[in-house]
Structure 1
């Protein structure tokens, strides 16, 4: 198809207009507009200074208009990218039976956790992630998808597809089967790097350098239900999705049909670049309902680079427990915007504690870049290398202060959780009810297992504001309005003071198990 419209003067049976006030290009454009409206405009009225356009000329223009307006198909893109996509099959050798109970290795996610629910729907039979089937005499098998990222056999898939696998086989688009080895995995982002040795000149895909826009066309290619080489199309439905997998959640939501076995497969943009790696779907029925999630290419790039280099991923760490700044919390702290990350508690001897960050501080900028929320802070710091020096802007007691710190390395595992069973039934000595909050409190040092600091919650009125905000028996109140408390009277005094100062809410720091958080409690009069 030519870039220019047909020269109407060279068509047979064409009669030149009496007054040529429009060029042929503009006339063709006008014809295209009319054709787009579904009007059979064989000519224009003499009042518009045009003679009647002959049927032959009109047919030629309409032919070109239809060619311009015809929807663009994906066949050319698919033909180019499909050879880089592989089917991944794994096998886990049978392990000696112990008891009739299921092994935790069968499902690495906590029961009924968000990711366990996602993978129960997304994975294979009996809830095994990554399309794995039940364990039998020959061991456990499973399948997923992946794609080559280099001509010498490096390929990307999901961690949950190859996790614990004793043998990994990949099948290419031309039907050839190769044995692959696992180079490295990153459970936090659910990515894995595998390698096929002894090959060269393999077709491979390029990871996108750009960011997808909501509404962009996408193509998902993979191995759903073992049907390798399947292509589906859709659009980008949303970005920045948090599905409860962890602090680094930043998924792209797509509506291209994605099913069991698509795990680890690529989602391509219309340039033929990989814009994401399919990792989970939401589906009450177990099949695609148009809600799928892909790991962004930018995340894949940084993770794969480290996996290729050393087999593991190292992340920056400042050592704080953080949470979102809600409107109530912002009001309690006197903040104008609900932005930044609220520090619930700096970890002992961590970089943040050494730099002077305290509970109640709000981190608003990292290296002069604004921090939108707690998840963005986690992703930003996690994307930096341990040992790197960063500049933080922190709101401390209403004032901005600048801190420089050297990042530590994110520990591979959390410290063991505190024993939550060490209670005396919640009825320790010195119980005092705070009616306005709906809480019954006692000094923490009077309740076995509650520790020495703060005030322990021994009862919660189910119809109270405290119950609505998640207070539960066994929680320990450490601070109220920025002041440490050690008995119920101090809690009541702090609430009364805030009310007399006409504050709408007061910030309460609460410890639950081994984690701390801030809760904004309403204290307004009336």
Structure 2
């Protein structure tokens, strides 16, 4: 009896301790209720209608007949009529609808969202948290940063408080409000997973990475810190299923506000521009250049008559600081340059052939389109391959003309170490370890002089792009 009593007491104590621990833990967790109550009204649901022009064929596909029986079969299974089917205004045009989110940044109706949410929209409908609906006007959109500014005719609207994304810390709690799958004013929460994240094909945004659940329909909605300040615009997710996998990316709010201010004032975006091609400084490239660290952006190409060319930057230079801002990785440079007002002269700290140097460079304005010459890759003859597996030929006068008179060596065949490093037939070799490639004989002599086991940096032109390729000379 005594044992049973002791066991009961111990069980009661254990349960009490567990409950106490849960209560302590609950006190340590953030409370998002006030944030949801105060900031929910600043978030809007965006419905986009687009008119798609069909091809006149049945069901919108060439060769598919307009079949009344097929139309009836689809109706029975609850499938709506497809474009091009009978009864759809000639089978030519049809409307599609999509959903997104946004948030109010001024009480007179200016709203931020993603460019991909409103792109190609014929009609934008904004629904507020109080169920009022307004047709919106697209003030402007910037595809490079995926930011858009729209406007509704309303006053006295609740607006967000803009925070400082630079003050965010990895591990800090954040929350998103939006309309995932059309479910309006849905809040999800998580932590900041990383800052300044660079994504493929996204050179102008230092993304905030979070594990907040972001799904289709959340795009364009706000990311809040615990103080209720908006710190980002939810833009992208990484997903294999189409739903949240804990990898969400937001545009820092300072980037988005700068873009929106430009769109509001002029309807266009003005960005700084240098006219260079860059790549990461890998350990192999750092060794080949005699550098002790891998920080900076390596210049792999300089466009003729560009701001970089006029300012004295050269292929092989490594930019360590631009306008006083450190360039830790190559992805830092496009963002820093783009943020500078065109026409401004800034200091640029570089390393050139092992020596530090500071240039004063005038930043240009980014053009809409750039086109470079593309060399031909057809040559019939096959000389012998060199020490790293490259078979080279000197360029013809016509090919040199396309390169503005520059010297280069055409890769006829690539095997061995060169092939393993990624050099392929049709590439043009422009230089070796910052030395111009003037002839096949000179290039091969330079390669033969390199000790076995050492790494060389080969400057390659492929199509419109140049890059340094590190190759380890075999023993």
Q: TM-score, normalised by structure 2?
A: 0.83
Paired residue secondary structure (1:395)? strand
> What is the correspondence of 1:383-402 to structure 2 with a 5 Å cutoff?
383-402=339-358
1:444 Cα offset (Å): 2.6
Partner residue in 2 for 1:226: 182
In 2: Cα distance, 1:359 partner to 1:85 partner: 48
Tell me, yes or no, if the aligned pair for 1:237 and 1:253 is still in contact at 8 Å.
Answer: yes
In 2: Cα distance, 1:311 partner to 1:200 partner: 22
> What is the correspondence of 1:55-454 to structure 2 with a 5 Å cutoff?
69=27, 71-95=29-53, 97=55, 137-197=93-153, 199-211=154-166, 212-415=168-371, 418=373, 422-424=376-378, 427-434=379-386, 436-445=387-396, 453-454=407-408
Change in Cα spacing, 1:177 to 1:39, as seen in structure 2 (3 Å) is closer
* Pair 1:474 & 2:404 matched: no
Q: CA RMSD in A?
A: 2.8
In 1: Cα distance, 2:129 partner to 2:345 partner: 46
In 2: Cα distance, 1:66 partner to 1:216 partner: 19
Partner residue in 1 for 2:436: 484
1:403 Cα offset (Å): 1.0
Paired residue secondary structure (2:264)? helix
1:459 Cα offset (Å): 2.2
In 2: Cα distance, 1:317 partner to 1:163 partner: 25
1:136 Cα offset (Å): 7.8
Task: Considering fraction of residues, name the structure with more strand.
Answer: 2
When Rg is computed on C-alpha atoms for both structures, the one with the higher figure is 1
Unaligned runs of 5+ in 1: 1-36, 42-61, 103-134
Q: Report the more deviating stretch, 446-455 or 489-498.
A: 446-455
Partner residue in 2 for 1:507: 457
Paired residue secondary structure (1:335)? coil
Tell me, yes or no, if the aligned pair for 1:360 and 1:396 is still in contact at 8 Å.
Answer: yes
Q: 1:195-248 deviations in whole A, cap 9, x for unaligned? A: 112x11111112212432111111111111111111111111122222213322
In 2: Cα distance, 1:466 partner to 1:99 partner: 51
In 2: Cα distance, 1:419 partner to 1:511 partner: 9
Tell me, yes or no, if the aligned pair for 2:297 and 2:320 is still in contact at 8 Å.
Answer: yes
1:468 Cα offset (Å): 3.0
* Pair 1:521 & 2:475 matched: no
1:184 Cα offset (Å): 1.1
Partner residue in 2 for 1:493: 445
Unaligned runs of 5+ in 2: 1-12, 61-90
In 2: Cα distance, 1:229 partner to 1:487 partner: 66
Tell me, yes or no, if the aligned pair for 2:455 and 2:472 is still in contact at 8 Å.
Answer: yes
In 1: Cα distance, 2:57 partner to 2:330 partner: 42
Aligned length: 426
Q: Report the more deviating stretch, 83-92 or 150-159.
A: 83-92
Change in Cα spacing, 1:68 to 1:89, as seen in structure 2 (3 Å) is closer
Tell me, yes or no, if the aligned pair for 1:214 and 1:236 is still in contact at 8 Å.
Answer: yes
Q: 1:274-299 deviations in whole A, cap 9, x for unaligned? A: 11111111111111111111111221
Tell me, yes or no, if the aligned pair for 1:147 and 1:156 is still in contact at 8 Å.
Answer: yes
In 2: Cα distance, 1:392 partner to 1:423 partner: 36
Tell me, yes or no, if the aligned pair for 1:429 and 1:446 is still in contact at 8 Å.
Answer: no
* Pair 1:457 & 2:457 matched: no
In 2: Cα distance, 1:266 partner to 1:306 partner: 20
